[in-house]
Amino acid sequence: MIGFRILKRRRRVEAGLVERFRTLPVANISDSMSRMTAGGASLRPLHRGGVMAGPALTVKTRPGDNLMIHKALDLAVPGDVIVVDGGGDLTNSLIGELMIAHARTRGIAGIVLHGAVRDSAWIRENDLPIFAAGISHRGPYKDGPGEINVPIAIEGMVIEPGDLVVGDDDGVLCVPLDHAEAIYEAAHKKHAAEEMKMQAITEGRDDRSWIDATLARLGCAVEA
């Protein structure tokens, strides 16, 4: 039934590509996707630190209810990132330390939650990547409905089951599976160029002439 169903994930980004993406800053990946994809500024890292990368296991749940998140924890395989569309509602938390501890024993690579968490102090002391939109001490309900392994969207960012989800201190990004290889090549090239730029800055030989050239091209009046 639409709205209350569990589907099979038909495909999944390969582990080797996941590991290659893990070496790249999310900002460079985002730039290589024309800066047009983001899960919104509200999705912030709440854990102690560390990079997240893995294939998406998607959950769409009624705001304030975590029944399907519990089921997703049991369905996930090591390396998965559970991505939850909780409607952005922050009234009730959807996960806390007990569920996150279970996720860790399952080898889950991270959790992205468009909703609220609780036990935030415990989350900050641990390194399992947790990205969420807020914090609430109020607990969840467990009645459904909800869906697993369906396309979801968070602040306009569409996530298909099996897509690559990456996250670091700058936030979360979904890389569509069909374009992941090409996006990696572009992001890797950009990252290498930025490393060269940083070296030039450090050595005092960074070329800043592009600024005046751009101002001139745009017709900016500059008083002598």
Binding residues: 96-99, 118-119
Residue 202 CA: distances (Å) to CA of 9, 190, 199, 208: 47, 18, 5, 14
- The CA angle 144-59-183, to the nearest 5 degrees, is 170
Q: 3-class DSSP state for residue 98?
A: helix
Question: Could you give the CA distance from residue 212 to residue 101 in angstroms, rounded to a whole number?
Answer: 54
Binding-site residues for substrate sit at 96-99, 118
Binding-site residues for Mg(2+) sit at 119
Question: Could you give the CA distance from residue 30 to residue 66 in angstroms, rounded to a whole number?
Answer: 30
